[in-house]
Amino acid sequence: MSYRKLNGKGIIVSAPSGSGKTTIVRHLLGQDLQLAFSVSATNRPARGDEKDGEDYYFLSTKEFKSRIINEEFIEWEEVYENQFYGTLLEELQRIWNDEQHVIFDVDVIGGVNLKKKLGKNALSIFIKPPSIETLSERLQNRKTDSEEQIARRLEKASQEMKEAKNFDLIIVNDDLDTACSEAYDAIKKFLN
């Protein structure tokens, strides 16, 4: 299946880890926008109470690489060394077949790549933290990563912030309600 044959609409939400994109996406899914969540694939192990097929499709490294070779992803990336994430073409088709719009919660490079492939059929939104210091606090408060992982995420965030210019809209998440409202308004306008 080629992504060139796919013609539904997509909402791409990207941000450095800890910026609040997943919280904003969950809020948007509960609104009157006919959005369905695109479940990404990864080869990393599940964290906490994450469920296969709901939070991610958890694949072995061998299966992930096999799907890359078979061109089953619209986009994929090695986010960290030997840690892959990607969006399966069959996931988009499933959602569009249900007459829904796809909403993506993806890392920044994945978001840029999706926008390139979906073009005018996608609205790309970059969720920006108010500062790197705030981002550091949020990551530490999540208590899901080691200090080493947090340091790695913060280093990556500095690079990802430079990609914000490649998105259609930048929303600074210094107040969650305001950020959710801004995202909702932009998406409603895009879909109409």
Q: Could you report the per-residue pLDDT of 163-182, keeping only the tens digit for each?
A: 999 999 999 999 999 999 99
Q: How confident is the model at residue 4 (pLDDT cuts 50, 70, 90)?
A: very low
Q: Higher-confidence residue: 142 or 161?
A: 161
Identify the pLDDT of residue 125: 98
Is residue 59 situated within a structural domain? yes
Is residue 18 situated within a structural domain? yes
Beta carbons of 10 and 110 less than 8 angstroms apart = no
Q: Which domain holds residue 52?
A: 8-191
Is residue 94 situated within a structural domain? yes
Mean pLDDT value across residues 142-157: 78
Cα→Cα distances 45→148, 150, 180, Å: 18, 17, 29
DSSP 39: P
Output the pTM of the full model: 0.85
Q: Higher-confidence residue: 161 or 2?
A: 161
CATH number at residue 18: 3.40.50.300
Nearest to 55 by CA among 97, 22, 12: 22
Is residue 45 situated within a structural domain? yes
How many CB atoms lie under 10 A from the CB of residue 110?
22
Residue 3 clears pLDDT 60, i.e. is over it: no
Is residue 168 situated within a structural domain? yes
Q: Higher-confidence residue: 156 or 24?
A: 24
Q: Higher-confidence residue: 36 or 19?
A: 36
Is residue 1 situated within a structural domain? no
Is residue 171 situated within a structural domain? yes
Identify the pLDDT of residue 5: 55
Q: Higher-confidence residue: 36 or 3?
A: 36
Identify the pLDDT of residue 86: 92
Where b means 16+ CB within 10 Å and e means fewer, 4-25 reads eebebbbbbbbbbbbbbbeebb
What domain count does the chain have? 1
Residue range 63-110, pLDDT digits in tens = 999 999 999 999 998 987 899 999 999 999 999 999 999 999 988 988
Spell out the residues 6+ positions from residue 154 whose beta carbon is closer than 8 angstroms to its own: 132, 135, 136, 139
Is residue 74 situated within a structural domain? yes
